[in-house]
Amino acid sequence: MTESAANPLDAELEKLIGACAARDRGALRQLYDLMAGQMLACMLRIVKRRALAEEALQDVFVSVWQRAAQFKGARGSARVWLMSIARHRAIDVLRSERADLYREAQIEELPELASDTTGDWSSSGRSAAELARCFAELSREQRRGIELAFVNGYSHADIARATGEPLGTIKSWIRRGLASLRQCLES
């Protein structure tokens, strides 16, 4: 069990991933019941269209079934491992569907920042609390850039379009924001 499995949900997920590696389909179903909703929420924010997101979610669970044995050596928590597979799949789908998405879902309104409006994301464990603390030290623009990219799957150009700021400025916000986060989280 990894260090992060001190979280009961992570411990349960680790056990289920291990059972998937032993070809236990019941375990995959339990994983699905525990995580599919959260994974779909994340993917839907990125790919924007429900049918695409649900199809990509299928890909993710098929991939988890096939790659479960690789988790043993993976670093980090089971939840992060699962969510990362989901995010990367969503980004891949977004990349391939990009042109269509622009036609259908124009970026006109800026989503509100989770860090401005809710405390939800900052109340789920030690790593989340650390991120919340360091996030609070960033400028609002840096937070906005990082959240739009990570949660909504926006590219630098998308963020420039959404905020009306020059592309170079956006790149700079994000680069400096990430550097500040790193410094804060490693201090």
Q: Which residue reads 């956006």 in tokens? A: 170
Amino acid at position 124, single letter: S
Q: What are the residues whose beta carbons fall under 8 Å from the beta carbon of 182, sequence distance 6 or more? A: none
Handedness of CA 10, 124, 59, 91 (dihedral sign): negative
Q: Which residue's CB is nearer to another protein, number 100 or number 185? A: 185
With contact defined as beta carbons under 8 Å apart, do 32 and 61 qualify? yes
| Closest distance to another protein from the beta carbon of 181 (Å) | 7
| Closest distance to another protein from the beta carbon of 79 (Å) | 7
| Closest distance to another protein from the beta carbon of 42 (Å) | 4
Q: What does the binding site for another protein look like in residue numbers (CB under 8 A)?
A: 4, 23, 25, 28-29, 32, 36-38, 40-42, 44-46, 54, 57-58, 61-62, 65-66, 74-77, 79-80, 83-84, 87, 91, 95, 114, 118, 120-122, 124-125, 127-128, 131-132, 146-147, 149-151, 153-156, 174-175, 178-179, 181-182, 185
**What is the C-alpha separation between 150 and 111, in angstroms, rounded?**
13
Q: Which residue's CB is nearer to another protein, number 73 or number 164? A: 73
Record the tokens describing residue 108, joined without a space: 């006109």
Q: Which residue reads 């030690």 in tokens? A: 126
Q: Which residue's CB is nearer to another protein, number 17 or number 42? A: 42
Q: Which residue's CB is nearer to another protein, number 15 or number 156? A: 156
Q: Which residue's CB is nearer to another protein, number 15 or number 132? A: 132
- Residue 14 CA, chain-centre distance (Å), reads 19
